């Protein structure tokens, strides 16, 4: 029973020691503090943009363009000189 408790205490201490990062706030110099933060939290690498080749794809055609043209033509003839 004591060994189980000792192992659990050991694991909790180890996890907190691993989770603790460097103490950059205690560093006095500005540039040294920035170097510490840069080392502790490196910037994330951005994924390069995916370039798609549109050679095989036809240009986009709006499926509602013809219907909108017909509707607007009908609406223009409804009210003349109101």
DSSP state of 29: S
Domain boundaries, the chain: 16-43
Q: In tens digits, what is the pLDDT along the chain, a chain of 82 residues? A: 788 887 777 667 655 555 566 778 888 889 988 888 888 888 888 887 777 776 777 788 899 999 999 998 888 877 666 6
* Whole-prediction pTM: 0.33
| CA gap 75, 69 in Å, rounded | 10
């Amino acid at each position: 029973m004591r060994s189980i408790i000792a192992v659990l205490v050991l694991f909790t201490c180890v996890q907190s020691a691993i989770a603790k990062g460097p103490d950059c706030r205690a560093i006095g110099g500005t540039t040294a503090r920035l170097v510490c933060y840069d080392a502790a939290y490196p910037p994330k690498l951005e994924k390069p943009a995916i370039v798609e080749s549109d050679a095989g794809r036809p240009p986009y055609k709006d499926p509602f363009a013809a219907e909108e043209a017909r509707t607007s033509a009908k609406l223009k003839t409804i009210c003349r000189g109101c």
